[in-house]
Structure 1
Amino acid sequence: MTSVRGRVTARLASVLLASGLLTAGAVAGAGQAAARGGLPEQGGAAATLNGLKTYGQALVRQEEGGDLKTGAGLFEMSVEDGGTLQTYSLDVHNPAQELARYQEVPWRASSLHGNRDAGRIRWILQHSYPQVNDLAKLASAARSGALTPETAAAGTQVAIWRLADGTDARAVDPAAQKLADHLVRAARRTAEPEGSLTLTPPAVAGKDGGRLGPVTVHTNAETVTVTPGPDAAAGGVRITDAEGRAVTTARDGAKLYFDVPAGAEPGTTTLTAQAATTVPVGRTFTGTGELARSQTQILAGSSGSTVSATAAVRWADKGPIPAVTAQKNCAEGGVDVTSANRGDEAFRFTLHDVGYEIAPGETRTITFPVGEDQPYRVELPAPEGADAGGGDRTFSGVLDCEAAGAEGADEEAGLSPQTGSESPVLGGDTATTDGGPDLAETGSDSDTPLLVGVAVGLVVVGGAAMVLVRKRKPGVGTSGTAGSSGTATASGDAPDGD
């Protein structure tokens, strides 16, 4: 086979600097969800890829000629704590790894960021199989001839690949091909769906003796259960509404607070929100953990599923009290680390012998450049001598922000959507029209992770660049005044928290 070739991604030119570049006087941990390897702002559904379940065959044109033949259709995922998802793939030249773990994310944190056709892809999902399971009706609309679940799934997948990255793909079955053509012609732009469950911000901080927050609930579920972390009771910390009433359930838009008693020993704790809901069609899922490079998926169907999100708090009586979080920034090609200092002293750190200072009440976001497809790991341990709050918080993943396409795939790898280098998800026959190695080859050995260590060190890809991109005035994660006790269901209206 002639391998897929094109641009050499930025990671091939990455420079890994020695660790120990960034040290901090204090730092806050994020939520327990981080222990799963997810980014701290992420909530919603977490799932494991079971494989390609309903599929036909497709041909994908390679840049240097010849066609790649591969399975095309619906994947199935198992949601943690219950539920099943059906998904289509977005990155035709990126392998899918069976048993890879995935996390629900907004479009801006996936290869759909900046894609003007993202809304058209969602339209296709809403107007094709499996959302439209009357195959006779679907065939009539497409004038395709008789469709089976397999050919309907193949035609839908081909249409999505074309809009995701401009891939020249066609279905092998004539009816599936006609369906794909119809869907691309008919697709209209639609809005991004709201997430199933997120908490914003995912970390807050402040002085003891008041209510710290708010943390806002964003969900499509009717209600969510709210549970304090296992160490909250020992510190006398309660989860309350703005009036100080204890909260055990909440609705979309609810504002939650950590009520920390005066004189409490400096420490940390968390709250977890959990709900049973249906994940909206069109939500994207990106890989996490050891198989984070597994191709991006987009939701086509969902059973009732259990979703969750976690937020963290740090408190002290004096000094710098920062809440630190991290998230992918696909628009800038890197990882954002945001520090909100809610103490009464400046939060100071150094980078290459240059000192930086975050004033009391200030929030600052620092963007660390990461090469496309470069693994990274962000470690946010507790300050020395402080309560670890459940241990170090590690946020890891791969910066998968671009749909590779034939011209953007790894130079050394011939990748198909249904095969991978470790545990390939096989979708029927996988072959090429011109012989050579099969598509399970990936050839990528640039898996050294980017390490962003606050208080322990930093390894930056692409040099020592550190971009200070945003500042905000006081007002996020501030403390309030302790109020009356009681029990309430928090509710309210708020914009989408994606």
Structure 2
Amino acid sequence: MQVRSAFARGGIAVLTAAAAVMVSAPSALADDGAARGRVIEKASTVGYRISLEGGGDPIAKLFDFKLSDGKSLKLYCVQISVHMRTDVDMVETPWNKYPDASSPFTKNSDKINWVLHHGYPGIKLDAIEAALGKQGVKVHDGVSEQEGIAATQAAVWHFSDGVKLNLKQPLAEGDNSAEANADVAALYSYLIGDQNTGIGAQPKPVLDIAGPKTAGAAGTKVGPFQVATNGAVTSLTTELPDGVKVTDADGKELKATDVKDGGKLFVDVPAGTKPGAGSFSLKATGELDTGRLFVAENYAKQPAQSLIVADSEKTEVAAKAPASWTETPATPATTAPSTPGGAPSGGGELANTGVDAAVPFGIGGLLLGGGALMLLLNRRRSRA
């Protein structure tokens, strides 16, 4: 019975540990279900019609994009020669699976991402003005939203399609002022200039809790549970009995703000707590990220202009960890020493060590008797 009971407890511990290791944050883009959405062109923000070297005057727009989960993003185009469509699903796609293998996009994707992180709306207009000021460039009455869109889209196309903005007359519309032309040219030149060292693809927000030991006994701390996240933990909730808490190694009860990447958590179960189980959950927020590429779902049959996310938004990920415990281990019983007669020791009497004091005397008597017998026999032999 004891062997079977121990085996059962061990089996529970192994299964619980395995469950904890498998717990992880539901990624914003699961491998089997990439994010998708559609362009909402009527909600898009128009910049200016720009003028390119060698001809061409496309309109720079910041497109509104609605994901299937209801969230909205802002995106720019990365295929200047392909028509944009609002009637097809656009699916998030890795940079290295860009639909046009001959395009400069793949080799320049890091630089495009830098443009998005330093252009509009990746950073605010006043921050753009400050960045230009550090380069010794003065803008006229600040950088407007239209100027920011025109310059940023032109810089994206420069790296994705190999086109160049006509710096002598960046804006194709004749009624735009010299000041607006100068501001667009200045921002465009900054975004494609030497400061652009590239930004690689950013990791998606993740949150994992791993617990190699998720079962224990009351009166101990179950754990550790190690946290791995690239976001900020914003919530710590528990489903635990009264008195059972989530703590650090020293027993200090933790709040969400105490939990960091690499932190170790424990489920502290007071002695005397009835055998049971519970869990705790964490939530974290992170950027869901500028630079995400969206390509038409059936691009080969229905080509549509590919798009790239121009701004970040906060997203939330969550993870849950189970814990279980048995009753407090029993302390081995001890008995008071007693005298050979059974009465408790005391009053100066010797403690019973487990050896009968009469035994040595019996053995001594036997030895003496044997010696006397041998002596008698030897005397009889000598007389004979």
Give the TM-score range, shorter chain. Answer: 0.3 to 0.5
Q: Which has the higher helix share?
A: 2
Q: RCO (CA 8 Å, sep 6+): is it higher in 1 or 2?
A: 1
Which of the two has greater strand per residue? 1
Q: Which has the larger radius of gyration?
A: 2
| TM-score (normalizing by structure 1) | 0.36
TM-score by length of 2: 0.44
